[in-house]
Copies of this chain bind each other. A is one copy, B any other.
Amino acid sequence: MTVTLIIGYIAAVLGMVAWVPQAIQVWRTGDSRSLSLPANLLFLATVIMWLVYGVLVMDWPIILANVVATACMIAIVAAKLKFG
């Protein structure tokens, strides 16, 4: 495996798990005041589009990474809508 491919996989794995701590924190604390709703909606749209793209090209790493990220972003946006 080339260095380039390894860096790509590291980026994909980091991107998959990055928003898990935010989803946990916002639901544990009930505090979402400093979260930007437009930013989180835009990023939810981003990961949904990547998920659709992954399905269209049948690329399992893209699909898996963006299923996890989409679940996190839905949890974060839901918390923002609930807690304000």
Interface residues of A, Cβ cutoff 8 Å to B = 3-4, 7-8, 10-11, 14-15, 17-22, 24-26, 29, 31-36, 38-40, 42-43, 45-46, 49-50, 52-53, 56-57
Q: Are B56 and A3 in contact (CB under 8 A)?
A: yes
Contact A22 B7 (CB under 8 A): no
Chain B neighbourhood of A18, CB < 8 A: 39, 42-43, 45-46
Is chain A's interface secondary structure helix, strand, loop, or mixed overall?
Answer: helix
Docked-complex contact A46 and B4, CB < 8 angstroms: no
Query: How near does chain B come to A65, taking the closest CB pair, in angstroms?
Result: 10
User: How many angstroms between the C-alpha atoms of A29 and B57 in the bound complex?
Assistant: 41
Please measure, in the bound complex, the distance between the C-alpha atom of A26 and the C-alpha atom of B35, giving whole angstroms: 8
A7 and B43: CB pair below 8 A?
A: no
Question: Beyond the given A15-B43, A21-B39, could you list 19 further A-B residue pairs with CB under 8 A, ordered by the A residue number?
Answer: A3-B56, A8-B49, A14-B43, A14-B46, A15-B46, A15-B50, A18-B39, A18-B43, A18-B45, A19-B42, A21-B36, A22-B40, A25-B34, A25-B36, A26-B34, A26-B36, A29-B34, A33-B33, A33-B34
